[in-house]
Amino acid sequence: MFGLVDCNNFYASCERVFRPELEERPVVVLSNNDGCVIARSQEAKALGLKMGDPYFKVRELIQQYGVVVCSSNYELYGDMSRRVMWYLQQVSPAVEVYSIDEAFLDLAGMTQHFDLGRWAGEVRGAVRQRTGIPTCVGVAPTKTLAKLANKLAKTEFVGGRGGGVLVLSDEAERREALARVAVEDVWGVGHRSAAKLHAVGVRTAAELAGVGDAWARKNLGGVVGARLLHELRGFSCAGIVVEDEARKSLACTRSFGQPLTELVDVAGAVASHATRAGEKLRREGMAARLLTVFVETSRFAHLPPPYSFSTQLTLPVATDDTLTLAQVARKGLQRIWRPGKRYVKAGVVLDGLERAGTGPQAMLFGDVGVTPQRAGLMRALDALNGRFWAGTVKVAASVAGPGKTQAWAMRRDVKSPAFTTDWGELWAVRC
């Protein structure tokens, strides 16, 4: 059996944890640079606000109904996600963190010792008590059915008819659930596949489960389509994927708060991304062998393509050293830099990941290898940033000059405080 725990309206729920005055009020969270709506509370959904709505187009509606607007606070959301996932890892033998707000749980063998419906309800309550985040839980014999059960549990919970938990433990429950879900809402069915299914009269997940394997192989992606049918029929084709197996690459990218034309400004952004990438590597015990740096101009400007420039560099040895990554990233940026262009985004992508310490640690010539002194420096860097707040100690290239602001920093005009990761922004309790 598998469980899927999904946080309800996650970004909006994170905002409400530390701002109880937002309960029962419509709340939306905006994307980078306050561009589009990327998260909505249930009350905001009821007003007709859609995912991806440009903020400037719905501003009048937002003002009319007093919708609370929040800039993206990724520091808060990431930390709240880690808290939720940490607890789930304490109550399940294996956890696959599928996204920032949902995770699959391996419940193999637990049916012999637990009532899974009661157990899932207790887990849901404990997550709410420990983190303040509301969740819904779906339990089923396959991951696809667990996803479907979670969707129904969430729909019923929002409608006030359920307790946020749905367990599909037998054939009758599975058939009833499949009949209630549209085929386009099945996990793994995209727009094109849904159109093909509608063309042959397949409208529900139950009807999809009855499609022949040969037709599925021909029209739904070969083996992938056949596996989808087997999963809907209750036969598991995919197990839990732990994080070590899932991580193939690592990316740190951001759009700029304003278009940039100066190399020093873009280099500051790239250095910041390389710093963040190094921190992630060390936290996960990984090292990288390949580094890609890219910059982009606006695709909507009246300029000829290309819109994106990138280059990949091979590191002499796999490394998690921030200073090395920042140095190599700058070399890559200088290689692809085109003067006179207005850049709107940059990023660093790391590939060829391996467990740190499994490869050679030093080079015969040069100083690119990981020395004990540099490893100690990185530990000190992480300790300081962990003890105080992220960015307490930075690479010099990512710091603006005296009296200047970071020209590349995201625009977040209505960002809430970093309630859990910045000592200067913690809640103050006054007696």
Distances (CA, A) of 323 to 31, 273, 331, 336, 347: 30, 12, 13, 20, 16
* Beta partners for residue 140, in sequence order: 2
List average pLDDT for each run of 10 residues in the chain, which is 431 residues long. 95 94 94 91 94 93 95 91 95 91 90 85 95 95 95 82 86 91 91 91 92 88 90 89 70 89 92 93 91 90 78 92 93 93 93 76 49 86 82 81 70 85 77 70
pLDDT score for 2: 94
* Beta partners for residue 272, in sequence order: none
pLDDT score for 362: 47
pLDDT score for 89: 93
Q: How far apart are CA 292 and CA 265, in angstroms?
A: 19
- Tell me which residue of 249, 238, 327, 254 sits closest to 286, measured CA to CA: 249
pLDDT score for 424: 77
Q: Please check whether residue 87 is in contact with residue 127, taking contact to mean a CB–CB distance below 8 angstroms.
A: yes
Q: Please check whether residue 72 is in contact with residue 58, taking contact to mean a CB–CB distance below 8 angstroms.
A: no
pLDDT score for 254: 87
Contacts of 358 (CB under 8 A, 6+ apart): 318
Q: How far apart are CA 90 and CA 94, in angstroms?
A: 9
Q: How far apart are CA 311 and CA 28, in angstroms?
A: 37
pLDDT score for 219: 86
The 10 Å Cβ neighbour count of residue 147 is 22
The 10 Å Cβ neighbour count of residue 14 is 28
pLDDT score for 169: 87
pLDDT score for 412: 82
